[in-house]
Amino acid sequence: MVFTRASDERIGKMFTMCGLVFMAVIIIYIVSTSVSFNKFIKTAVKTKGIISDIVSYNSHDEDNSKRYDVSVRFTTENQEHITAHLDYSEYSSSMYVGKIIEIYYDPLNPSKIKREVLHEKMPSLLMFIGFGLVLLIVGIVFNYKAYVQNKIKKEQLIS
């Protein structure tokens, strides 16, 4: 397939923009998730809990995806026995009832718990960043090709 200079420029711009947007969204997600978690653990207490129940349900958003409600039992520093629920985004397919997991809880509100999940999601997030990088590189190649073609055409017009 032969591309013209104008189509190379359009394709280059399209791939470059898609690559940049793709990578930016993933990087923003990583940074915001990391900042939110780090803010929480500044005052949180780290402990171990045991998964006491996992209930699956269909979300009522537009994609009707399957979500999981994970109940975790743990004991606070004050020897309170608490059962709390993880946010659905903190579910992992490696979870099962009876599994011991590391959690953080808010000492002022022990039913508010979180667990560190970014390291588990990092391989797939890096894969998406890599995909965005490939789009960006393809865009740069097409833009460079169009630039070289423009330069050659200008030199031919001058001579």
Asked which of 18-27, 65-74, 145-154 is least confident by mean pLDDT, the reply is 145-154
Question: What are 127's two structure tokens?
Answer: 């894969």
Given a contact cutoff of 8 angstroms between Cβ atoms, the answer to whether 76 and 45 are in contact is yes
Contact 82, 110 (CB under 8 A): yes
Distance CA 133, CA 12 (A): 13
For the chain, the structural domain boundaries read 5-158
- CA–CA distances in Å: residue 58 to residues 54, 62, 95, 112, 130: 13, 11, 18, 23, 31
Taking only the tens place, the pLDDT of each residue in 81-137 is 999 999 988 998 899 999 999 999 999 999 999 999 887 888 888 999 999 999 999
Tens digit of each residue's pLDDT (9 = 90 or more) over 4-60:
666 778 888 999 999 999 899 999 989 998 998 999 999 999 999 999 999 998 877
Q: What is the pTM of this model?
A: 0.70
Rounded Cα distance between 89 and 33, Å, is 11
Q: Determine the distance from the C-alpha atom of residue 57 to the mean position of all C-alpha atoms in its chain, rounded to a whole number.
A: 22
74 phi and psi, to 5 degrees? -155, 170
